[in-house]
Amino acid sequence: MARPRTFEEDRAVEAAMRAFWGAGYENTSTQALCAATGLGRSSIYNTFASKHDLFQKALRHYMDGRNARLAELMDSDLPAREKVGTVLGWAVEPDPEEPAGCLVVNSQVEMARHDPAVAELLRLDYDKRVRMIRAAIEAGISRGEIDAGKDALALAHFVVATVSGLRVAACGGAGRETLASVARTALDAF
Q: How far is CA 113 from the centre of its chain?
A: 18
pTM to 2 decimals?
0.92
Whether 174 and 92 have beta carbons less than 8 Å apart is answered as no
**Alpha-carbon dihedral 92, 121, 117, 25, rounded to 10 degrees:** 30
Distance separating alpha carbons of residues 116 and 66, to the nearest angstrom: 22
Distance separating alpha carbons of residues 136 and 124, to the nearest angstrom: 19
- Reply yes or no on whether the pLDDT at 3 is more than 80: no
Per-residue pLDDT, 145: 97
* Greater pLDDT, 112 or 46: 112
Overall size of the chain counted in residues: 190
* Greater pLDDT, 119 or 7: 119
- Encode pLDDT of 83-106 as tens digits: 999 999 999 999 999 988 999 999
Per-residue pLDDT, 6: 57
Per-residue pLDDT, 82: 98
Cβ neighbourhood burial of 94 (10 Å; 0-12, 13-18, 19+): middle
**Alpha-carbon dihedral 64, 70, 71, 75, rounded to 10 degrees:** 170
pLDDT average, residue stretch 133-151: 98
Per-residue pLDDT, 8: 81
- Reply yes or no on whether the pLDDT at 21 is more than 80: yes
